Amino acid sequence: MANPAPATGGKSFLQAMSTVTEEAAVQLRVVQMEGLAVLKIIKHCEEFAPALVTGQLLGLDVGSVLEVTNCFPFPIREDDEEADADGANYQLEMMRCLREVNVDNNTVGWYQSCLLGSFQTVELIETFMNYQENIRRCVCIVYDPSRSSQGVLALKALKLTDSFMDLYRNNGLTGEKLREKKLSWVDIFEEIPIKVSNSALVSAFMKELEAESPVSQCDFDRLKLSTAPFMERNLEFMIGCMDGLSSEQNKVTLDFKRNGFK
């Protein structure tokens, strides 16, 4: 999975004004997400599970609240310089198209999927530092499809702690520096509370659907095929492993024949 690159044209008006006036930064206390953005993140992550995917978060930075009003997925690509350039162009083009239809196009972070809670990686830290160069405050929304399948919405909003960012900028990420400062993985990431909100029209529509539904909610679970994408990806990985095994067996057979063994 390629790391997302921050789009430089996504600063909000409030962020620009705070940079010009050099006012003291207000502490981020809550991430308010629109229900549409949450559903789009869940849909994207579960469709490609167990493969890891990423996407861009769009919204507004208002005081102590970071509003996430929309998002869009990044295409899965290989890790090379040409692919990174194409990914940056894709982000800018998507944000331009969203601006034309009056959708919030201010970058406030990115989202990514993980498996069994394994999101604490060096790549995540490096991506955070790249975003911090262009965006004063940003978050990473991490969604875990494997844990959500157990009945818990595994959705987290993360940011780097100020103490760790200062240490990383000055000395880089080394085990010795972490031990000197007595920092662990618990002290590197800070989890921000998430608040899911919907407009009054959406809330009224959902209430109307609930009242008119002739079938209980539990019966809809029969139509959910949540294991199908996961099984499909596992079969793809298994086929790739079998191809590699067959190739290695052919190499061993040829070596035996060259050496005179039957």
Q: How many domains does the chain have?
A: 2
Residues 52 and 148 reside in one and the same domain: yes
Q: Over the chain, what is the mean pLDDT?
A: 77
Structural domain for 251, as ranges: 225-258
Lowest mean pLDDT among 173-182, 188-197, 243-252: 173-182
Q: Could you tell me if 115 and 52 are in contact, meaning their C-beta atoms sit under 8 angstroms apart? A: yes
Q: Let me know if residue 82 belongs to a domain.
A: yes
Residues 108 and 210 reside in one and the same domain: yes
Q: How confident is the model at residue 187, as a pLDDT?
A: 78
Residues 180 and 249 reside in one and the same domain: no
Q: Let me know if residue 230 belongs to a domain.
A: yes
Q: How confident is the model at residue 115, as a pLDDT?
A: 83
Residues 63 and 188 reside in one and the same domain: yes
Residues 181 and 147 reside in one and the same domain: yes
The CATH number that applies at residue 20 is: 3.40.140.10
* Gap between the Cα atoms of 7 and 134, Å rounded: 8
Q: Let me know if residue 7 belongs to a domain.
A: no
Residues 186 and 108 reside in one and the same domain: yes
pLDDT tens for each residue of 119-141: 888 888 888 888 877 787 889 99
When pLDDT is cut at 50, 70 and 90, the band that residue 22 belongs to is: very low
When pLDDT is cut at 50, 70 and 90, the band that residue 143 belongs to is: very high
When pLDDT is cut at 50, 70 and 90, the band that residue 21 belongs to is: very low
Residues 164 and 110 reside in one and the same domain: yes
**Average pLDDT of 50-79?**
85
pLDDT for 20 beyond 60: no
Q: Which residue has the higher pLDDT, 173 or 102?
A: 102
Residues 230 and 152 reside in one and the same domain: no
Residues 65 and 184 reside in one and the same domain: yes
Q: Let me know if residue 81 belongs to a domain.
A: yes
The beta strands (E) that lie in the chain are given as 30-34, 54-62, 65-73, 107-113, 139-143, 155-160, 189-192, 194-197
Residues 214 and 230 reside in one and the same domain: no
Q: How confident is the model at residue 262, as a pLDDT?
A: 57
Q: Could you tell me if 148 and 141 are in contact, meaning their C-beta atoms sit under 8 angstroms apart? A: no
Helix, strand, or coil here: 52? Answer: coil
